[in-house]
A = this chain, B = another copy of it.
Amino acid sequence: VTKSRENFVYQEPDEQVIQSLSIDNVIFGIGDGVLKVLLVRQEDPRHAGSWALPGGWLRRAEDLRDAAYRILKELTGLSDFYLQQLKTFGKVERFPGERVVTVAYYALVNAEAYTLVLGNSARDAAWHDVNHVPDLVYDHNEILSVAIERLRRDARDEPIGFELLPARFTLAELQSVYEAIFDAKLDKSNFRRRIIKLGFLEECMEKQHAVPHRAARYYQVDKKAYHALKRRGFGAISFV
């Protein structure tokens, strides 16, 4: 096996992993009102200091999706997040020195993850604004572009934005998540009418406190109603 395998964050004994097949995770979060992606610093001396999507290898005894889940969990410490397969990237020249096809996944993690990840100085990982991402290794900029496009499409088809928030959130917070995803300002009353009409948001008894403006109501997702609606189909939501 060549040196280039050591690029990846997670080392595995070669005989236990599938050769020529890697996994890369595009992990999205929201911070400062913008969409962010979690990147790790590359350890390959040829790419010293470069940023990359966090990735790893598929173990022989592990389902593909389980591998993507494990890699994300090991990096963030989180075990509850939205995870979807994105696309498999397999150009001959995408990886230097050997043929590696990579299966990309994308994940949405809520804001509480920030402190977990950024507080862990043992790994050099950081959130980057998706509008100001540096040159990444290999084809990782292309993978990220495909992920952003897919996230926007998915968010138009089903209201997945709340996956980026804590369990309880205000409608203003939810709106700011969609504004970050679509990189656009949304009309407040239209947004509220449409999201409430879907019928899976539950008002909490508690309101915000110690805020300088009128305290807003907290909401949470009624998961039963959400999944029932998901089975019937949301229709096109068209927030933007």
Q: Given A89-B64, A153-B157, is A101 in contact with B20 using a C-beta cutoff of 8 Å?
A: no
| Distance in angstroms between the alpha carbons of A99 and B57 in the assembled complex | 14
Chain B, Cβ-Cβ closest to A91: B63
Rounded to whole angstroms, the CA-CA distance of A58 and B90 in the bound complex is 10
B18 with A99: CB separation less than 8 A: yes
The interface bits of chain A over 3-35 (1 if a CB of B lies within 8 angstroms of the residue's CB, else 0) are 000000000000000111100000000000000
A238 part of interface (Cβ distance < 8 Å): yes
Query: Which residues 54-90 of A have a CB within 8 angstroms of B?
Result: 58, 60-65, 85, 87-90
A92 within 8 A of B: yes
Q: How many residues of A contact B (CB 8 A)?
A: 27
Q: Is A205 an interface residue (CB 8 A)?
A: no
Q: Cβ of A64 and Cβ of B91 under 8 Å apart?
A: yes
Contact partner of A58 (CB less than 8 A), chosen from B64, B85, B87, B101, is B101
A63 touches B92 (CB 8 A): yes
Q: Does A108 contact B (CB under 8 A)?
A: no
Any B CB within 8 A of the CB of A180: no
Q: List 17 A-B contacts (CB under 8 A).
A: A18-B20, A18-B101, A20-B20, A20-B21, A21-B101, A58-B90, A60-B92, A63-B90, A64-B89, A64-B91, A64-B101, A85-B87, A85-B88, A88-B88, A88-B103, A90-B103, A156-B236
